[in-house]
Each structure stands twice: as C-alpha cells, then as structure tokens.
Structure 1
Amino acid sequence: MRTLMVTEFVSLDGVVQGPGGPDEDRDGGFDHGGWAAPYIDDEVLARAIGGAARADALLLGRRTYEEFAATWPLAAADDPIGSKWAAVRKHVASRTLTSVTWQNSALLEGDVLDAVAGLKKLDGGEIQVHGSIRLVQTLLAHDLVDELQLLVMPVLIGSGKRLFGSGTVPARFDLAASATTRSGVVIGRYARAGAITYGAVGPETGNW
C-alpha cells in the first residue's frame, strides 16, 4: 500500500490559501497572497528538496496543477525539485480539464475517490499532494490521507481557505518528525494512527 502524503503551508490561524504569490489564488477577494514567501529560507528549501526526493508520484487538483505546469518547467535542468517533479507521474483530479500537457501528466478517470484508492493499492512509493485545497478536503473527508506535513508560518491571515473543514473525519496522528527554522517556521510530519482516543484530566480525575 502506497502512502499518500499531504504537504501544506499553513498560517497560525489555519489558512492555506495563496501562500506563494499575490495572484496564486484570489478566490473570495483574497488579497493576502504571498504570505508564506518571507519565511521560506534555506532551511525550508532544504526540507522541500528532501521531500521532493521521496516522491514517486504527484496528485494535484486543477488549480495547483495549472500553477505548477506553468512554473516548474521553467526551473533549471539541475533544479532538484523541478527535475524530480518533471520526471514523476502526475495524476490530476479535475472535472473541467479535458487534457493535460505537462510531461508525465494524466487526468484521473472516473470517480476521484475510487481512482485515488486505486493508486494507493498499486506498487510504488510516496504519492504527494501539494496545495490542491479542495482535493485535500475531499481526501480528508474520506480518510484517504496517510500523512500530513505542515509548515506552520508565524503569521495570522484572518480570512481565506482553511485546511480543515467541517467534513474532516476525526482521526489521530502521531508526530513522526519536527523541526523549527530560523525564520520561525514549525515543520511537523504527522502519520495517521487510527481512531481518536478519549480521556479526562483535572483534579477530580487524579490526572493533574
């Protein structure tokens, strides 16, 4: 079974919309695009390069696919992220696209949930999802996400699309790795660990 890993830049208040640039995603009149850029230092880039090296395939929603397809082919031939993402298979979830042109890209056929579940059953390595917020919401709602890698930036946005919506399935994750960069980014990698467990704390419980 292949692992499906979701990686997101997240603000302290949970916003994931438009982290990379002013015009990345202006849905809803969002005018804070590019909020993550000041915090992407050499340490964050090193983590991104290491993550890209693990990728066996990308799974992308339409908006993120179009953004990536327009920009990553412009990277230098020896760019470690650009060259890796050009080489791996890219699976695109879209109801509106009829074709995809970035090399090694293909549209998912049929029901997206069935298609993703099928991809996970194939032999191979890590399937990575970057951005693709609507797709991620769907995957979370149907418990198809195995790991989360969250790069939490020390900034409050106040509005915009958030990572965890009302349809998120309750689930427990174990912290697999963590780091903090000089720019204040907290990077956490979390692995799915089954159902939520419950308890109680307080003076009356003896657990205080």
Structure 2
Amino acid sequence: MGTIIVSENVSLDGVIEDATGDEGLGRGNWFSQTSDRDREEWAKLEFEEALAAEALLMGRRTYHWFIARGWAARSDAWAERLRDLPKYVVSSSPVEGWSNATVLTVDEVAALKERVDGEIVVYGSGRLVHTLIERDLVDELRLTTYPIVVGAGARVFGETSAAKPMRLVDARTVGDGLAFLTYRKA
C-alpha cells in the first residue's frame, strides 16, 4: 500500500504561493532569499526524497509548472529521477510533457494508494493538497520552512471540515536557516 507524502516549501506563515516570484504576485521570490548553502542542502534533501519515491502525484498546474521550467528535458540526476518516476496528475483534461504521466481524478487517488507500494510524493499542488487533507488521504507532511513571513498568498492549509491531528516525527535544520519538519497522521 502506498503512502501519500506532501512535500512543500512554506514560509513561516504557511504561504506556498509564488515562492520563486514567477507568478508575479508581488510577494514572491522568497525561495531565493536564503543562502547558497541553504539552497544546496535543500536540493540534496529533495533529491534524496525523489530517490525514495515510487511515484509523483500532482495537480495539473504544478505539473505544467515543472514542464514549463524544463524538468522534462534537463539532464542532471535529480531531473532524470523525476523523469523516470511514474507521474499521476489530477486533472480533468489531458496533459503533455512527460511520457509516463497518467491523468486521474481526485476520486481515484485512494485506489492509487492501493496500487502503488511505497512513497507517493506530492509537490506543490495547493488545491490538491487541501482536498487530500480533507479526505484523510495524506499520511505524512514534509515541510521545508523558510525564515520569512510573506504576509499574503495561498497557504498550504485551508479550512477543513474537522481537525486533522498530526504527530511531529522529525525536526532538523537544513543548511543554515531552513527548518525541515516531518509530521505523520496521528
């Protein structure tokens, strides 16, 4: 049985939107307001996570974000690993870019957990993450927390119909200033 792991870059106030400034929302580019060492150590962490994954699950917009930034054509080891992983995209329309991407509906995610043996990692995909949390499909949250209060923007957590208890299982520093927090469903 698969384990759905949400892996997010978040600000101190939980913002996930416009981390690189590409979306032009006026408060972006907080991702790069860290040291080179922080970014290098973060990249190592993300690569290790990709090596441990059996599949990627993402929303349509995040999938297109990866394609638009050339991940399907990059030749480094991290990009090659992402390219090799099966990708499941929650969308109501077809997607192009990676040859091993399968479109599914959010109602099919529970069945995906039954089919995949291992970690199913979710990058970005804010709206999808909200839905997965609401449906109690998220087994683990991995939050790389950046030392900045953005003050506005879409947040990793939205309203839910009930409390969703989680248990802290790991907390460590990445680089000099990033906090990496891992929570599992309680």
Deviations 1:19-64 (A, max 9, x none): 1x222x34xxx22222112334222111111111111111111111
Larger Rg: 1
Residue of structure 2 equivalent to 1:35: 30
Deviations 1:92-135 (A, max 9, x none): 1112x334331211111xx41x3100000114211010000011
Q: Where do residues 18-167 of structure 1 align in structure 2 (5 Å cutoff)? A: 18-19=18-19, 21-23=20-22, 25-26=23-24, 30-39=25-34, 40-70=38-68, 71-76=70-75, 79-95=76-92, 97-108=93-104, 111-112=105-106, 114-167=107-160
Greater per-residue strand proportion: 2
Contact residue 40 and residue 175 of structure 2 kept, 8 A:
no
How far the C-alpha of 1:138 sits from its partner, in A, is 0.7
SS of the counterpart of 2:33?
helix
Could you tell me which runs of 5 or more consecutive residues in structure 2 were left unpaired when the two chains were aligned: none
Residue of structure 1 equivalent to 2:7: 7
Contact residue 2 and residue 114 of structure 2 kept, 8 A:
yes
Residue of structure 2 equivalent to 1:202: none
Give the Cα separation in 2 of the matches to 1:168 and 1:10: 23
Change (3 A) 1:158 1:123: closer
Change (3 A) 1:126 1:134: same
TM-score of the superposition, structure 2-length normalised?
0.91
How far the C-alpha of 1:189 sits from its partner, in A, is 1.1
Give the Cα separation in 2 of the matches to 1:143 and 1:131: 18
Contact residue 60 and residue 95 of structure 2 kept, 8 A:
no
TM-score of the superposition, structure 1-length normalised?
0.82
How far the C-alpha of 1:185 sits from its partner, in A, is 0.6
SS of the counterpart of 1:74?
coil
Change (3 A) 1:138 1:63: same
Give the Cα separation in 1 of the matches to 2:116 and 2:102: 18
Higher relative contact order (CA 8 A, sep 6+): 2
Give the Cα separation in 2 of the matches to 1:136 and 1:35: 21
SS of the counterpart of 2:143?
strand
Change (3 A) 1:158 1:167: same
SS of the counterpart of 2:97?
coil
